[in-house]
Structure 1
Amino acid sequence: MPRPRTISDEAVLDAVLALAHRVGPANVTFAAAAAEVGLSAATLVQRFGTKRDMLLAADKRAIDLWVGALDRSTATSPLARVVEGLVLAVDPVATPEQMANSLAMLQLDLTDPDFHAETLRGARAIRARVAQNLNSALEAGELRPGTDVAALAKLVETVYHGAMIGWAIHRESTLIESMREQFLAVLAPHRTGVR
């Protein structure tokens, strides 16, 4: 009978992802990941098989957390849920170096078919949740009548990705403040009472 796991796969994968963001995915090894979580490298090999499979599992976990951020928002206004949910999806203490390593993970997401399938699944879910909240905002009178919700959802998604890169380049304020400012700016022309 196998021994019970003292550290959950989720905790291991969270540590692997944090390590990848700190040192870059190319520098993630079983030994480094094992040191992060207090397990042996052999245990991680037994659980995940290969480094690629471990990174893919960490990526899947990250995608699920990313998508779930919109559901964690406690804002009562649908527009505020969009902004707060997308802000909750980023690490509040991210550094430009972590952003660069996150982009290295994105390279895997864009070039490896298995990683891409997960990223695409997450991006579609994010866009759908944003559109759902924008539809609610339209129904609640927060958005101008006739607002093209599908187009606005795509624009908000694009701003989400671009705001992180812009912040890493300009390094003005915090990532959270910068992203919130960008979301409010893109939504402003569509809000009711805004000229």
Structure 2
Amino acid sequence: MARPRTTSDEQIFTATGEALRRHGLSGTTLAAVAREAGMSSAGLVQRFGSKRALLLAFAERAADATGACFAQARQRTDCALEALHEGLAALTEGLDSPAQLANSLGFLQLDVADEEFRRHAAANARRVESELEALLGEAVDARELDDGAEPQRLAHSVYVAYNGALVLWPLLGQAPLRDELRAAVDAVLLPHRPARPTRALPKEANA
């Protein structure tokens, strides 16, 4: 009878993300991931075979992890735009310093240079835009956004602003990453928010 696994694949993927944040792509060895996961390097090799195979498996589940982030955000609030903000913030959970963000963005080297990784990265990007589009559509229905807002186009603009804020934060950011992301996304959404009625001045003020 095979011995039961004491460390799940999900725990290993969590450890992989933590290793990437701490050590960057080049420093994320099987030994580093094994230490984060609390298991032996031999056990990790037996499970995945190589660093590339582990990172491919990590990349493959990214779209599902993205869906989970937005699903959890929806459970925390009934406001579509707040769920949008919370879902995007969850995608960067654990990135507390510019150095950690730089290490995580190093994964883009694989996404751009390797077709297998690029395919998974593209699937994840499409999943993010799909989640954003759904929430923006709900925001229009709930009158959090104007009727004229186009969820599909707006979702792409929001995602571009989000990624731009990620890149600029280590260079120009003055607030925590979560706040910088919210400000960048709000700047895109502001022209589509319903105008607030102007309060009439007291008669004495008009005299």
Q: Deviations over 1:97-146 (max 9, x none)?
A: 11111111112122211211111111111111111111111122221222
RMSD: 1.7
Larger gyration radius, structure 1 or structure 2: 2
User: Aligned letter for 2:38?
Assistant: G
- Among 178, 181, 195, which residue is 1:179 paired with? 181
Which TM-score applies when normalising by structure 1?
0.92
State the partner residue of 1:164. 166
Which TM-score applies when normalising by structure 2?
0.87
Contact 1:83/1:184 (CA < 8 Å) preserved in 2? Answer: no
State the partner residue of 1:6. 6
State the partner residue of 2:144. 142
- Write the mapping of 1:1-195 to structure 2, written as runs, cut at 5 A: 1-73=1-73, 74-193=76-195
C-alpha distance 102-92 of structure 1, shift in aligned 2 (>3 A): closer
**Identical-residue share of aligned pairs (%):** 37
Q: Deviations over 1:146-171 (max 9, x none)?
A: 22222111000111111111112123
**Matched residues, number:** 195
Which blocks of at least 5 consecutive residues in structure 1 are unaligned? none
Contact 1:10/1:61 (CA < 8 Å) preserved in 2? Answer: no
* Deviation larger for 180-189 or 61-70: 61-70
Q: Deviations over 1:4-35 (max 9, x none)?
A: 11111111121122101211111222222222
Contact 1:67/1:122 (CA < 8 Å) preserved in 2? Answer: no
Structure 2 CA distance for aligned equivalents of residues 68 and 110 of structure 1: 25
Which blocks of at least 5 consecutive residues in structure 2 are unaligned? 198-207
* Deviation larger for 151-160 or 133-142: 133-142
User: How many Å apart are 1:93 and its aligned residue?
Assistant: 4.5
User: How many Å apart are 1:59 and its aligned residue?
Assistant: 2.4
Q: Which 4+ runs in 1 deviate beyond 4 A?
A: none
